[in-house]
Structure formats: C-alpha cells, structure tokens
Structure 1
C-alpha cells in the first residue's frame, strides 16, 4: 500500500467515525469539558418532567432541579419563553431528553455547552429507526423511556455529568445512581409480570400518537398510534378511517388517550368504529410525553410507568385490576 493509499484509508475511517458517532462523542466532550462548581446545591434545569425526576433521583440533596415542562405539556410543540432562556443561561447544568423530543428547543439546547442529552447514553443500535425513517427531523424515535432497560442507561449520563461538575459529591451520586438502577430493574420486572396477564392475541395497543414503539418492542405488544412520532401534524380523516378499520378487523376492545395530546382525534376514531358496528371504549389515560402532577406517584417516572401498565392491562382485559 502506498503512502497516498494509507492516507486515504485513514481519512475514510475518520469520516466514517464522524458520521456514525457525532452526537455521542459531542456529548462526551461536553461532560469532559464541564468545569467544577463550588456552589451546592447545584442549580439544574431540566426540560420534560420525567427528566427532572431522573436528575432529582441521582442528584438528591446536592441539586436543586427546576423543570421547564410540567404535567400535560407536549415537548414536541413547546417553545422556550424569554424566562426559560434566562434560566438555561444561568443554570450550572441542563439536562434534556434529546433525539429531537424537544422539537422547537433543539437548536438552542445543542448550542449550550452545559446542556446534556440523557438519551446519548443509549447505543444507537438499540434505537428504533424503521426503513425510510420517520421523516423530518426524527432520525430515531425519541420515546426511549418506555423501555425501562433503555431509560436505566440514562442514569449513568446524569451521574457522570454531576460528578464532573461536583467532584466532591461523586461517591454520593454513584450510590444514588446504583440504588435507582435497582429500582428500575424492579419496575421492568413488574411491567413484564403485568403484561403476562393479557392473552397474546389481545396484546394490541392503540394510542393517540406513535409514542409506544419501544414499550411494545420490550414488553411484547403490537402498538398503533393515530398520529406519528411527533404531534406537530394532526391526524386526517383518512388516518381516522384506516385506524377504525384496523380496530374492527382485530376486534380490539379499548383505545387509550394521552395526557399531553388532545383526545378529540381519538374520540373520532371511537365514533367511526361504532358506526361500523363494533364497540370500542376509551380504556383510560396514559402518560406519554409528560409525567403526572408534582407530589403524586404519577409525577415520577416510576409512578407514571406503573400507572400506564395498570391502565393498559385493565383496558385490554376489560376489567379493573
């Protein structure tokens, strides 16, 4: 091999590496470049409320976390206010979900050196990327938290960032992260146990938008959403009619609305199904892109997931658990 050929081989490898792993490497660089802070508690800003909960679980009493998006807020559509921008600029550290979940805030978050995308802890080969992709800005499905084993990986991202900016608390963060990791393992086992109650042929889940693909893949359900991965574009009449046909053909008993998505479109599906002579009911409300109210069990990640699985199983079986 000539010197020129060797140089071209090295250049090709560098280009390939840059194309395959730019985000993960950029995020690692962000953590490595964080400067230690002496002020405790650390002033943290998070975007969606289950990320807020994640940071609080790991950070404990060494952090003060302020969430930008509360109960019922759709992160796909959220626009940062002037007050939000000030909070982001003043924070010691910022955590966000990533993978373009925070659609209208992505450019701002990616420019901030102290903003960490927790989903960059997840290997890209474990993300859902169907043939043809999702279109638009979504290379991958961003709803990774619905697979508890994937969400558990984000704990290390938070732990490492907090330890970098607060070395004196590193042992504390490691202990909290390990304890929370064990809690997530218990949650994963609980969800699998609950799903086992539903006969295989009844494990079909209809929701307002396509947020539960990771949940379906991990826990063995067929999942259909009326809208796509994002809620930016509304479902049309054709979408409603096609989903209604599917529900009638499969004799599905229940569909599920979501706390952060208006339910009128799914109500149109229910009406279209009943017009075809089949009775389908709204089986309950799920937390999808936002957790519940602060101070309630559903206001935490674990609580929202436990609520969801109980609601899903009850709806599919047609009885209260």
Structure 2
C-alpha cells in the first residue's frame, strides 16, 4: 500500500514537471497551507493578493492526516507551501521534501520561533511541543515571519502584506488583553484544564493553568488504562469539576475518563468541546483563530467556575 502511494506520488510529480506549473491562470501567486489555523493566518496577511488553498479542513487531526492524491496534486501546483512544522504534520514530511525537489518553496511557520522558548517533551520522541498557536506572543512573531516570507516571494505586494500584518497584530494584542480579563474571573485554584490530548501546554504557560492531557502531544499515541487511572486520580485529588472534549479527537477517550472518575464517587461533567488542532467550520465564530481562542477561553472559564 505504501509502495503504491509513493509510486503514484512519483508519477504525479514527474507529470507535473511537463505541465504548465505553479501560477494560477490569472497569474495570481498560489499558496497551499496545511492546517486550518495556518490557512486563517495566511488569508489575513495575504488578502486578495494571493490565492490560498488549505489542505485540512475543520475538525481534521493533523497528527494523523495522510495526503490524498488530490492533496499531492494541489501541493505540486503551489508556488509556496506554509505548514506548522515541529512534526505536527508528521505524515506529510516526505511529501514536503519532494516538493522542494520541484523548487516549490516550503515554509514551516515554527521557524519563526527561538527553540529555547519551546516546550520540550521526551514523550513526543524528544521533540518540541508543536501546538505553538496557543501562545499569542508566538503567533505575533509568526505573523511577522509570514508577512516577510510573502514579501520576499511577491515583492510587488510587500506594502499590502506588511500593512495587513500590522493590522492583524493589533487584533492579536486586543485578543490577549480580552482573554486575560476573562480568565481573571477564574480563581487560581480552579485553573486546572483536563483535555483529550496534551495540546494546551503553551496555553497553560501563558495563562497560568495547570494542564493535563489524557493522551500525549500526538494523538497517534493511544491513552491506556494507566493513563485513564492516573488522570482520574488527578481530577479527584484536585476536585476538578469539568473536563473537555476536543473537536479533532474522538470523544470516547474523555467519556471513558468521565466514567472512571464517576465510578469513584466524584462527579465530573464534560464542560464542552474545545478547538485544539483545527478551527471550527468556516463562517462560524470558531472558524477563525481569534474566534476560536475566545470561544475556548469562554468555554473553559464558564465550565470551571
């Protein structure tokens, strides 16, 4: 199966070398993005000056995502590809390398950050935590980085890209203030966030939460009986009254945790669904990075207090 996929990938890449490449028919610079979170960012900066296509939609888990032949074709026709990096899109790494052979610029937004500021985890193969969007300060740096990369690639629109980036930075600063104000409603001893997988460590560090994920940094790691028991004991010991589902992770893991806690005479409710690795549906509040972050914090605070 694996050989067949890479054989078809090779055919696609070879055939694309003989086809009219890259530019849209109207000459617009063509960008392909991976996660919906990155798609939203590049849309805010690129505006109408570029054509943007996202590979992963709402509710898609990037840890487990495998590219279809259609995705490979879409990527092979790009002028530039933006992806998260830090092994978030672990099953796409080989494809990104092949895109480089086609002289398609691939950009990991995580390259904007100082690795010394990242959270290291031995549980994730000794790599860094890839959920960098949950630190707004990081997202500000990434905003400037993306604007600079676009400016180098399409210099005739540099002024617009930089202006869009500055406008978006202002929105991010307002968001940070608003979220801190909302979180201040929650007493410090109630700032304990238990979720399906360990996606919120940067959030916890930025907003002073104790964060526990039932699964590890990657959803490719299944939660075992011991994980459920240890997390259940944490909930009981700290009198946590709500735990959270994630939109891109099957809810059965959290339901199993809830059942384990309730069987030990401690009542814990499911406080709602959080958006971790993907945004909500387009056109909804949760369908943008800023809307998603507001929704998550409101859901967390309202459930825990």
- The normalised TM-score by structure 1 is 0.84
Aligned pairs for 1:266-285 within 5 A: 266-285=254-273
**Residue in 2 that maps onto 1:315:** 303
**Residue in 2 that maps onto 1:17:** none
Shift of 1:37: 7.5
Which of 214, 229, 233 in structure 2 is aligned with 1:245?
233
**Residue in 2 that maps onto 1:194:** 182
Measure the CA separation in 2 of the matches of 1:74 and 1:49: 10
**Residue in 2 that maps onto 1:259:** 247
Give yes or no for contact 2:124–2:218 (8 Å, CA) kept in 1: no
- Once the two structures are superposed, what CA deviation does each residue of 1:245-276 show, in whole Å capped at 9, x if it has no partner? 11111110100100000010110111111111
Computed over aligned residues only, the root mean square deviation of the Cα atoms, in angstroms, reads: 1.5
Shift of 1:135: 3.7
Which of 65, 76, 89 in structure 1 is aligned with 2:76?
89
**Residue in 1 that maps onto 2:30:** 43
How many correspondences in the alignment?
Answer: 279
Q: Does 2:123 match 1:134?
A: yes
Measure the CA separation in 1 of the matches of 2:49 and 2:162: 13
Q: Does 2:176 match 1:179?
A: no
Measure the CA separation in 1 of the matches of 2:109 and 2:167: 18
Q: Does 2:113 match 1:125?
A: no
**Residue in 1 that maps onto 2:106:** 115
Please list every run of 5 or more consecutive structure 2 residues that lacks an aligned counterpart in the other structure. 1-21
Measure the CA separation in 2 of the matches of 1:223 and 1:107: 32
**Residue in 1 that maps onto 2:5:** none
**Residue in 2 that maps onto 1:157:** 145
Give yes or no for contact 1:259–1:285 (8 Å, CA) kept in 2: yes
Give yes or no for contact 2:198–2:212 (8 Å, CA) kept in 1: yes
Shift of 1:40: 4.6
- Once the two structures are superposed, what CA deviation does each residue of 1:251-310 show, in whole Å capped at 9, x if it has no partner? 101001000000101101111111111110000000000000012121111111111000
Question: Where does structure 1 differ by over 4 angstroms across 4 or more consecutive aligned residues?
Answer: 36-40
Measure the CA separation in 2 of the matches of 1:134 and 1:107: 23
Please list every run of 5 or more consecutive structure 1 residues that lacks an aligned counterpart in the other structure. 1-35
Counterpart secondary structure, 1:186: helix
- Once the two structures are superposed, what CA deviation does each residue of 1:1-43 show, in whole Å capped at 9, x if it has no partner? xxxxxxxxxxxxxxxxxxxxxxxxxxxxxxxxxxx97965321
Measure the CA separation in 2 of the matches of 1:143 and 1:88: 23
Counterpart secondary structure, 2:196: strand
Shift of 1:126: 0.9
Q: Does 2:47 match 1:60?
A: yes
Counterpart secondary structure, 2:123: coil
- Once the two structures are superposed, what CA deviation does each residue of 1:158-209 show, in whole Å capped at 9, x if it has no partner? 1112111111100110100011011111111111111111001110000000
Shift of 1:129: 1.1
**Residue in 1 that maps onto 2:15:** none
Larger Rg: 1 or 2? 1
Shift of 1:134: 2.6
